[in-house]
Structure 1
Amino acid sequence: MKKWIPYASALTMVVLAASISGCGATQEDNTPVSEPAASASAPSKLQIETSFYPMHEFASQVAGDLADVHLLIPPGVEPHDWEPTPQDIEKIEKADVLIYNGAGMEGWVDQVLASSNNKGLNIVEASKGLELMESSAEEEEHADDEAGHDHHEDAHEHGGLDPHVWLSPKLAIQEVRNIEAALIAKAPEHKDEFAKNADTYVAKLEALDADYQKELGSTKRKDFITQHAAFGYLAKTYGLTQVPIAGLSPEQEPSASAMTEVVKFAKEHQVKTIFFETLVSSQVADTIAREISASTAVLNPLEGLTEEEQANYQDYISVMRANLEALKKALDE
């Protein structure tokens, strides 16, 4: 509670500022693909706000041309510690649907929704109904060692749940189905279109899942070291073991004892690749890699696409296929 009270107060001020801000100001849209303004005579489309990249991708695939899907968290911004601005609050106030991952990923959601006056807003927690994992004992130990690290504590006041369900293609399918159901509930007249769009995208995710099962089922080793404990669901789904250097928050600094334990594990198991990620510094992974004469490689948690990735037309499936190749290479070394 001592961490939540000042955060809640600050966010309440943001909500208040949003409620009195002028509505005629030009807003910057974080949506990866620019969208033309609708004319007064154009048919009304659903206005959907999504929290961070995977939610935007899944919603866009299901909605198709029937909605304008917007992204709240800007490209290249790490979402764990992001907080909404008054302009972001205003977007939610005007939206028909808000889609977020849940499981504690978006720590700002409860406070924003409690202060919202948008009675027609459909709220979609995409991870609802999924079997969620708690952070491992090792990750909790890291958190205890770094008890003064505000980034970690603030981001995980949700009770130690792991929110990274979208990194398992099998669980991503369930999130897509949750979004499909919510959009049908909001606009039942478009039920057939939403269902067709969802089925088309789910077929691609099922093919991705099948490739993960095939490629990772026969690797030489089953353990991999990551800088950020984001890949627990992926590991569980495909029979692997994630060995995280730090905990669930990518900004968390690992303790000296945690670093020592990871180095010991890497040497004993002859690990040759240490994974780091986009959007945050690779310094910790680089340090351990130098210590054990290993290389580093990217394992992308898809918490947000960079502008370069967008320019190269990367998306959830292409990045997850790159992750599969990186994992297979490291696990067969």
Structure 2
Amino acid sequence: MRFVNILIVSVLMFGIYSCQPKQAKKVENQISVSILPQKYFVERIAGNDFQVNILIPPGGSPATYEPTPMQMEQVAKSVAYFKIGHIPFENTWMNNMIEAAGEIKVYNLSKGIELVRGPEVQHGDHFHEGGIDPHTWSSPKAVIQIVKNLYAGIVELAPEKKETYKKNLDQFLSELEMLDKKSAEVFAEAEHKSFMIFHPALTYLARDYGLNQIPIELHGKEPSPAHMQHLIGEAEKHDIKVVFIQKQFNKENAEVIAKEIKAEVIQIDPLNEDWMAEMKSIINHLKGEA
């Protein structure tokens, strides 16, 4: 069914562009991004200098979302696409979007980040590319590199604003480095370093600050009764106090486990546009202060 949907959108896009005598007219200051946190990053560096076309809307999943023909047309009008890197949405759609867009610069914001790799993992009807965990924006340390990459791309698009953007970058980096330092200090002293989460979206946070992320999903699927029992045992073994559930997923399994181990279910949204506020909230929940 997913293949059929992709084929339908591709045919619609072919129809849109084959009926046009030339490529869509570029909007000089329009750029496209994949996820909402990227809009926050852009605005921290460039303010409102760019119109940001976001492909995955609030509530959409980077694993399963399929762009509309209108969204594809907005990509075609953009002068650049800033991909977050390696999310299934980009793996599936990037070639089609770039081909339809014609003249467009593409920047990979995960460039230079030490990627978390493992065995190729299936999540529903897709696989994480080459076993790469795509959730690079889940860690302040990784986001420091993301925004440096973003700054380099934005300056290339608007070199006349380099000085202003550099001041904004330095201010943002100062905040990120402070959050990184405080997180490292807090988690180094933490008594409990394990947490449970439905979909493993905090892999880079766990890796960078010595935490143990235990996902409820089993190879991208709802856990079986046997696996649920295993998870309850793991939660008791690691004295889990927090069970995270992303707002895009059903809370039922997380609530069953939390009830058994007397833990708190906390809904989070790693795709929140206000990345800084969400990241601080997640860190506070992990250290037991929220």
Which of the numbers 98, 112, 134 marks the counterpart of 1:163?
Answer: 134
CA separation in 1, counterparts of 2:192 and 2:77?
A: 50
Give the Å deviation of 1:290: 2.3
Aligned to 2:284: 325
Contact 1:77 1:304 survives alignment (8 Å):
no
CA separation in 2, counterparts of 1:111 and 1:180?
A: 24
CA separation in 2, counterparts of 1:323 and 1:157?
A: 24
Q: TM-score, normalised by structure 1?
A: 0.77
CA offset digits 1:217-273 (Å, max 9, x no partner): 211121111111111110111111111111585xx3223333222111112233233
Aligned to 2:23: none
CA separation in 2, counterparts of 1:325 and 1:172?
A: 18
Residues 247/96 of structure 1: CA separation in 2 closer, same or farther (3 Å cut): farther
Letter in 1 for 2:86: A
Letter in 2 for 1:328: K
Contact 2:195 2:241 survives alignment (8 Å):
no
Q: Which runs of 5+ in 1 are unaligned?
A: 23-43, 144-150, 306-314
Contact 2:216 2:231 survives alignment (8 Å):
yes
Aligned to 1:195: 166
SS of equivalent residue, structure 1 residue 281: coil
CA separation in 2, counterparts of 1:244 and 1:47?
A: 37
Aligned to 2:275: 316
SS of equivalent residue, structure 1 residue 134: coil
Contact 1:11 1:112 survives alignment (8 Å):
no
Residues 130/270 of structure 1: CA separation in 2 closer, same or farther (3 Å cut): closer
Aligned residues: 284
Contact 2:242 2:263 survives alignment (8 Å):
yes
Which of the numbers 156, 160, 164 marks the counterpart of 1:185?
Answer: 156
Give the Å deviation of 1:318: 1.2
What pairs with 1:201-240 in structure 2 (closer than 5 Å)? 201-240=172-211
Give the Å deviation of 1:21: 7.5
CA offset digits 1:145-186 (Å, max 9, x no partner): xxxxxx6232x2522210011111010010111111111122
Contact 1:235 1:242 survives alignment (8 Å):
yes
Aligned to 2:124: 152
Letter in 2 for 1:318: A
Aligned to 2:143: 172
Give the Å deviation of 1:295: 2.6
Which of the numbers 72, 78, 85 marks the counterpart of 1:102?
Answer: 85
Contact 2:82 2:106 survives alignment (8 Å):
yes
Contact 1:11 1:111 survives alignment (8 Å):
no
Give the Å deviation of 1:9: 2.7
CA separation in 1, counterparts of 2:128 and 2:185?
A: 37
SS of equivalent residue, structure 2 residue 30: strand
The more displaced of 157-166 and 79-88 is: 157-166
Give the Å deviation of 1:45: 5.4
Which of the numbers 209, 214, 238 marks the counterpart of 1:269?
Answer: 238
Aligned to 2:253: 284
CA separation in 2, counterparts of 1:258 and 1:69?
A: 42
The more displaced of 273-282 and 93-102 is: 273-282
Contact 1:162 1:248 survives alignment (8 Å):
no
Aligned to 1:303: 271
Which of the numbers 16, 19, 33 marks the counterpart of 2:17?
Answer: 19
Contact 2:17 2:100 survives alignment (8 Å):
no
Identical aligned pairs, as a percentage? Answer: 30
SS of equivalent residue, structure 1 residue 212: helix
